[in-house]
Amino acid sequence: MELEGCSQTAPEDTGLHEACGVFGCVATGDWPTQLDVAHTICLGLVSLQHRGQESAGIVTSMGSNDSLHRQKKGMGLVGNIFTEEDIVRLRGNIGLGHTRYSTHGESDTSNVQPFVVETLHGLTAVAHNGQLVNARTLKRKLLRHGVGLSSGSDSELITQLLTHMPECGEPDGANWVGRIKRIMHETKASYALVIMNKDKLYAVRDPIGNRPLCLGKLLPAATFSGKKILDDSEVDGWVVASESCAFGSIGARYYREVLPGEVVELSKKGVRSVYMAPKHKQTPPALCIFEYVYFARSDSVFEGQMVYMVRQNCGRQLAKEAPVDVDMVSTVPESATPAAMAYAAAINRPYGEVFTKNRYVGRSFIQPNMRLRQLAVAKKFGALTQNFIGKRIVLVDDSIVRGVTMIPIVKLLKAEGAKEVHIRIASPPIKYPCYMGINIPTHQELVANKVPIDQLADYFGADSLQYLSVEGLKAAVTEGIKTEAESGHCVACLTGDYPVEPDW
């Protein structure tokens, strides 16, 4: 029996999908806390909605030894799943949440996270962003050990691994660091995890740091009216999130990133690093470069730099590599907008909008099949005809995957009177599938493999088309890095050079 979604051939309808969002919160000070932990998690998940719009869940606990976990999970958007009554019922001192886009296992209720499982040391809940490169092997191993699985999700495999005692045993009681080390030993990528047991959360990033994860501190309400906090003992709580964009809406301040291979413990006493996996030359850090290009929200910070600034760098670099003489520069909203604006400034041409975007249509690729994705593109954009009629336009997008978006929008612009439409892409051609948490489809479905690059402009009905180079993208991403930790990026979807080989 194979793990669902584990086959080498991606299902017909997969596309470029968001990665999941994970979030955790622990209150400091006396428990029961006055802090509304469930509400904080819910707001955090709303800010991570762009990472997954399929299902979501929240699990909370009072954090005592025998405490029951309260949970609510459901299909759909965060705002539709959790009612005010749910939030009241989910009252707790500690908790975690997840918003999912499936990469492994069907999009159904059995795979909704967080997963909760009984262990020797009490109930344990797990939220996972990523995709295990060796899920198939791990699944066989667990089944051979008599572990029953109840879902098709690779995240359940991680949860079940946590129920195993570490090799060194547990003579002094629970050894969660030992249990997490065992996960790191069994699987190298890709996972950013939030794990809850009793009164503690563990934030874990895989040894190559493929998916992002960061820590924030919840500021006391008094700081909103100007009070300065003197030290960490004054914070209301600690939070962990896939992206720092989750912090603004909950009154939290960015603290730091969880480093590749690091395990951080969050408790009412604060945060402390409890383990750092030894570095291996063969597997240097490999943060997914597409987090910068497309997935992450522009106001998030990775490696000490804001995603928005990197997207601007991409636009500037693209202007150096592929300038064009036009009347105006525009964007395919919205991940591409910072790149388009920077491109315009660099070629010294006006930036203007050619589309208005329907704010109630989500990201196109979240749609479950090709027909709906095509309709999503049609629903998403309306032409601002009077802004571009008779003009030569260069349209900047962040990426082209299947080319679903580009064909109808070039057609629309031309039909509405654009004189010329040139395409510039602020990342290189995507030619290789991703096995680490992003549903980038098979080789054959990627338009850069279907049509020779020099014929793509014709294919889209455009006047010219050029991509950013791999070296250009790397330069744009590394230019503003401000971290003392070693950094590195996974560019496997662009070069086929995978940091960790999948086992199928």
Ligand X SMILES: NC(=O)CC[C@H](N)C(=O)O
Token duo for residue 266: 């969050």
Tell which positions 328-357 bind ligand PRP, by CB under 6 A: 332, 334-336
Decide if residue 128 touches ligand X (CB under 6 A).
Answer: yes
Decide if residue 404 touches ligand PRP (CB under 6 A).
Answer: yes
335 interface partner picked from ligand PRP, ligand X, none, CB below 5 to 8 A per type? ligand PRP
Token duo for residue 216: 């924030």
Partners of residue 75 on adjacent β-strands: 55
Q: Is 30 annotated as a binding residue?
A: no
H-helix or E-strand spanning residue 392: strand 392-397
Q: Is 490 annotated as a binding residue?
A: yes
Closest Cα to residue 20, out of 301, 303, 441, 437?
437
Instruction: Give whichever of 322 and 500 is closer to ligand X, judged by the CB atom.
Output: 500
- Among 113, 155, 364, 427, indicate the residue that binds ligand PRP (CB under 6 A): 364
Amino acid at 429: P
Q: What letters, b where the CB count within 10 A reaches 16 and e where it falls short, cover 422-449?
A: bbbbbbbbbbbbbbbbbbbbeeebbbbe
Residues known to be catalytic: 20
DSSP string, 58-105: EEEE--STTPPPEEEEEES-HHHH--HHHHHHT--SEEEEEEE--SSS
- Among 6, 10, 19, 201, indicate the residue that binds ligand X (CB under 6 A): 19
Place of tokens 């975007």: 357
Token duo for residue 489: 């990026």
CB of 301 to ligand PRP, least distance (A): 18
466 interface partner picked from ligand PRP, ligand X, none, CB below 5 to 8 A per type? none
388 interface partner picked from ligand PRP, ligand X, none, CB below 5 to 8 A per type? none
111 interface partner picked from ligand PRP, ligand X, none, CB below 5 to 8 A per type? ligand X
Instruction: Give whichever of 250 and 339 is closer to ligand PRP, judged by the CB atom.
Output: 339
Task: Dihedral sign for Cα 358, 359, 363, 367, please.
Answer: negative
Asked if residues 195 and 267 have their Cβ atoms less than 8 Å apart, the reply is no
Instruction: Give whichever of 394 and 404 is closer to ligand PRP, judged by the CB atom.
Output: 404
Instruction: Give whichever of 49 and 305 is closer to ligand PRP, judged by the CB atom.
Output: 49
Closest Cα to residue 74, out of 50, 96, 97?
97
Where are the strands (E) in 219-354, listed by range?
Answer: 237-241, 252-257, 262-267, 270-276, 287-288, 301-302, 305-306, 328-331
Number of residues that bind ligand PRP (CB under 6 A): 20
Token duo for residue 304: 């000490």
Q: Is 299 annotated as a binding residue?
A: no
Could you give the CA distance from residue 158 to residue 4 in angstroms, rounded to a whole number?
A: 15
Partners of residue 178 on adjacent β-strands: none
H-helix or E-strand spanning residue 449: helix 447-450
106 interface partner picked from ligand PRP, ligand X, none, CB below 5 to 8 A per type? none
Tell which positions 240-299 bind ligand PRP, by CB under 6 A: 294
- Among 53, 102, 300, 487, indicate the residue that binds ligand X (CB under 6 A): 102
Number of separate helices (H) and strands (E) present in the chain:
15, 23
Q: Is 314 annotated as a binding residue?
A: no
Instruction: Give whichever of 401 and 457 is closer to ligand PRP, judged by the CB atom.
Output: 401
Instruction: Give whichever of 187 and 364 is closer to ligand PRP, judged by the CB atom.
Output: 364
Q: Is 397 annotated as a binding residue?
A: yes
283 interface partner picked from ligand PRP, ligand X, none, CB below 5 to 8 A per type? none
Binding range to ligand PRP, per CB under 6 A, among 74-82, 268-276, 394-402, 449-457:
394-402
Place of tokens 């964009």: 245
Decide if residue 154 touches ligand X (CB under 6 A).
Answer: yes
Closest Cα to residue 55, out of 78, 30, 39?
78
Could you give the CA distance from residue 304 to residue 478 in angstroms, rounded to a whole number?
A: 11
Geometric angle at alpha carbon 98, from 92 and 101, rounded to 5°: 165
Tell which positions 423-452 bind ligand X, by CB under 6 A: 437
Number of residues that bind ligand X (CB under 6 A): 17
Closest Cα to residue 439, out of 295, 260, 241, 243?
295
Q: Is 288 annotated as a binding residue?
A: yes
Decide if residue 205 touches ligand X (CB under 6 A).
Answer: no
Binding range to ligand PRP, per CB under 6 A, among 182-190, 278-286, 358-366, 470-478:
358-366
Rounded to a whole number of angstroms, the distance between the first and last alpha carbons of the chain is 14
Decide if residue 47 touches ligand PRP (CB under 6 A).
Answer: no
CB of 29 to ligand PRP, least distance (A): 39
- What is the largest distance, in Å, between two alpha-carbon atoms of the chain? 77
Binding range to ligand PRP, per CB under 6 A, among 322-330, 342-350, 397-405, 476-484:
397-405
Decide if residue 53 touches ligand PRP (CB under 6 A).
Answer: no
CB of 128 to ligand X, least distance (A): 5
- Among 100, 121, 297, 391, indicate the residue that binds ligand X (CB under 6 A): 100
Token duo for residue 386: 């009077």
Tell which positions 296-335 bind ligand X, by CB under 6 A: none
- Among 49, 111, 210, 317, indicate the residue that binds ligand X (CB under 6 A): 111
What is the binding site for ligand PRP (CB under 6 A)?
15-16, 294, 332, 334-336, 363-365, 397-406
What is the binding site for ligand X (CB under 6 A)?
19-20, 100-105, 111, 128-131, 153-155, 437
Write out the binding residues for [4Fe-4S] cluster: 288, 434, 490, 493
